[in-house]
Structure 1
Amino acid sequence: MIPVLAVLAAAVLFGTTGTAQALGPGDTTPLSVGVARLVIGGTALAAIGLGIGRRQRARQSAPPRLTRRAFALMAVTGVCLAAYQPLFFLGTERSGVAVGTVIALGSAPVLAGLLEWAMTRRLPSRVWMTATALATVGVAVLAISGGGAGGADPLGIVGSLGAGAAFAVFANAQRRLMDDGWDPFTVAGAMGAGSAICGALALLFVDLGWLASPGGLTVALWLGLATIAVAYTLFTWGLQRLTAATAATLTLAEPLTAGMLGVLLLGETLTGGAVIGILVLAAGLVLLAVFSRQPRDPAPYAAEA
């Protein structure tokens, strides 16, 4: 029961990301918010993940070696998590928290599966193909619904899909690291360290003056500590003790949280087309979650936002 609650709590924390950014100071930008989140959250996640991972490796009879391949894969996870931030916030800023989050999360497992298919040449299952078709139709309906209140903005869709693609790449990189014997906490810690370095390099190119405004620092700390450091630690711990299907189902709490917060706290309204698109996309995710039993199914990574 505790692992279930850990993953569920992580998904809920992930789901607050877009709303926290929207409630922040008005002079923020997707890039500046993403950079602040990376520096704070990535540093904390690196300290937690690498610390726990060091103890886990000490108990291994033959711990993995840091080869060039492993270092490259770890670097990829950090860079992709860094790229995810401004793309995700661009999507929620232009299309709204509910729609932007659903597109990003709905596309992530689909794109992860397509990438794995291209890399392994393993033909996906019929269930995966059906779920992918539903998710694709859902995103298309959201796009056709157009901009405005509750609609999907074209640039916002690009941002959300870009965030989903970034997830697809680092999910596959993480999977290969764990296949090579690396424990999940070390993998998560390395991702945090790499993303923090990317964020630090971007500090010279963003205006973080909003941190000094009322609520600015609070938003940055919440986004960094709660939605990255704490959430990823809970998710990593719980994922080690749950089946892929169970974890995938629990992660659906993230878009649900984002949608509810968007409507209740931000006053967002959804057009009829947006509601239909979200329902179709959600149907694809539920199908993928319920019937995904293979250990290499991309669905468990859908919620790592």
Structure 2
Amino acid sequence: MTEAAMASPDNGRLKALGVLVAGGAIIGLAPILVRLSDAGPAAIGFWRVTFALPLLALMALRSDGGVGAPSKFALIAGLAFAGDLSFWHYSIHYTSVANATVLTNLTPVVVTIVAWLAFRQRPANLFLLAVGLAVGGAWMMAAGRGAGAPGANPPLGDSLALSTAGWYAIYLMGVAAARKSAGAARVMFWSSLASAPVLLAVALALGENLTPSSAAGWAAVVGLGVMHVAGQGSIAWALGRLPAATASVVVLIQPVVAAILGWMLFAEAMTPLQMAGGMLALFGVVLAQAASRQRKPA
């Protein structure tokens, strides 16, 4: 085999997979930083994307020659991301963390179904099995945390969490479409810029506390901005090289990372059910990579 052959599609795919896994792992920091922030739920999302914008603009200048003009898909992704952050933050307030996590992690199911029905991207049976294993593992990790406070309005919170899965699915597919004609930094800049005013409007309309009240709170939202660039930026880059359905399964590594960090930083021990769920989710991620190469014709 020649050196050129050894360097082509599979190595490029492995690189994209590595970047995608790294991005998902970085995003696993989000629940910890959100918990340390002391502003309103939507306001936290506003500060996250606002602090990310200067970094994204610099990255776009270096990699793409500037931010350029936005594509409609980048703007659609930004609006969907605003819905994702708003609905997810409020779902945690109204229902248990376990329910919010489980329902939000249905994103791969939504992406696969939409890609199948709307874009005729029929998945292989093995990929469907991988989705089921990954989602099942994520559910086990959430359910394994034990019974917690049910929240102020569980039915409302569950509905918001379920909606979050749809918002994030739209975001992933929007970014994937935008990446066909623009670099990752440019897509991330415009999607973040589009989401900022929506998040601010939601925070104002709901009477939220707009600004953190402590230095630690400000540090947390600045950290969220940096995390947004590194995490979502890595995911956006990988989406230019991998199918959205595959990416939606791989980012299920987020709850695994969040659970591990909770154990390391807050002494939140993982139960046997959580450990089994984490291994199952990771197995589903690996299986999805193999299965995604076996797509059936529509």
Shared fold per TM-score greater than 0.5: yes
Check the 8 A contact 2:124/2:295 in 1, yes or no.
no
What secondary structure, in the 3-state scheme, does the structure 2 residue paired with 1:212 have?
A: coil
State the secondary structure of the residue aligned to 2:179.
helix
Find out whether 1:188 has 2:184 as its counterpart.
no
**Residue 201 of structure 2 is aligned to residue 201 of structure 1:** yes
Please say which of residues 140-149 and 45-54 is displaced more in the overlay: 140-149
**How many Å apart are 1:265 and its aligned residue?**
2.8
Report the secondary structure of 1:229's partner residue: helix
Alpha-carbon distance change, 171 to 204 in structure 1, aligned in 2, over 3 angstroms: same
Equivalent residues in 2 for 1:1-305, closer than 5 Å: 7-25=20-38, 28-41=39-52, 43-44=53-54, 46-48=56-58, 50-52=60-62, 54-55=64-65, 70-71=71-72, 73-92=73-92, 94-96=95-97, 100-101=100-101, 104=104, 106-135=105-134, 137=136, 148-149=147-148, 157-179=158-180, 181-205=181-205, 206-208=207-209, 211-224=212-225, 226-237=226-237, 251=251, 253-268=253-268, 280-293=280-293
* Structure 1 residue runs without a partner (length 5+): 59-64, 297-305
| Structure 1 residues 237 and 163: CA distance shift in structure 2, 3 A | same
Deviations 1:235-285 (A, max 9, x none): 445666789999789756533221112233345456666666555555433
Residue pair 1:101, 1:258 contacting (<8 A) in 2 also: no
Instruction: Give me the whole-angstrom Cα distance separating, in 2, the residues matched to 1:219 and 1:95.
Output: 23
C-alpha contact (below 8 Å) 2:80/2:168 kept by paired residues: yes
Q: Deviations over 1:22-80 (max 9, x none)?
A: 1333xx44223223223333x3365245435642899xxxxxx97xxx42x23211111
User: Over the residues paired in the alignment, what is the CA RMSD in angstroms?
Assistant: 4.3
| Residue 167 of structure 1: how far off its partner (Å) | 1.6
Distance in 1 (CA, whole Å) between partners of 2:61 and 2:81 is 20
CA shift in 2, pair 1:267/1:24, >3 Å: farther
* Shift of residue 5, structure 1, vs aligned partner: 6.7
Equivalent-residue separation in structure 2 for 1:19 and 1:32 (angstroms): 16
Take 2:217 and 2:195, find their aligned partners in 1: how far apart are those partners?
A: 21
Aligned partners of 2:132 and 2:273: how far apart in 1?
A: 18
| Alpha-carbon distance change, 52 to 110 in structure 1, aligned in 2, over 3 angstroms | farther
Percent sequence identity over aligned pairs: 22
Q: Retained in 1: the 8 A contact 2:178–2:187?
A: yes
Per the normalisation by structure 1, the TM-score is 0.70
Q: CA deviation at 1:108?
A: 2.1
CA distance in 1 between counterparts of 2:50 and 2:172 reads 21
Q: CA deviation at 1:19?
A: 0.9
Indicate how the Cα distance of structure 1 residues 164 and 53 shifts in structure 2: closer, same or farther if over 3 A, else same.
farther
Cα contact 2:263–2:269 (8 A) shared by 1: yes
Inter-CA distance 100–264: structure 2 relative to 1 (3 Å threshold): farther
Residues 169-188 of structure 1: per-residue CA shift (max 9 Å, x gap) = 12222223334x33333222
Cα separation, 2, equivalents of 1:11 and 1:85: 16
The residue type equivalent to 1:132 in the other structure is V
CA contact (8 A) 2:112 2:245 kept: no
Shift in alpha-carbon separation, 1:154–1:49, aligned structure 2, 3 A: farther
- Asked if the contact 1:77/1:170 (under 8 Å) is kept, the reply is yes
Provide TM-score, normalisation by structure 2.
Answer: 0.71
Distance 2:249 2:111 in 1: 17
Aligned residues: 279
2:7 matched residue in structure 1: none
Q: Match for residue 302 of structure 1?
A: none
Which consecutive residues of structure 2, in runs of 5 or more, have no partner in the other structure? 1-13
1-structure distance, mates of 2:122, 2:238: 29
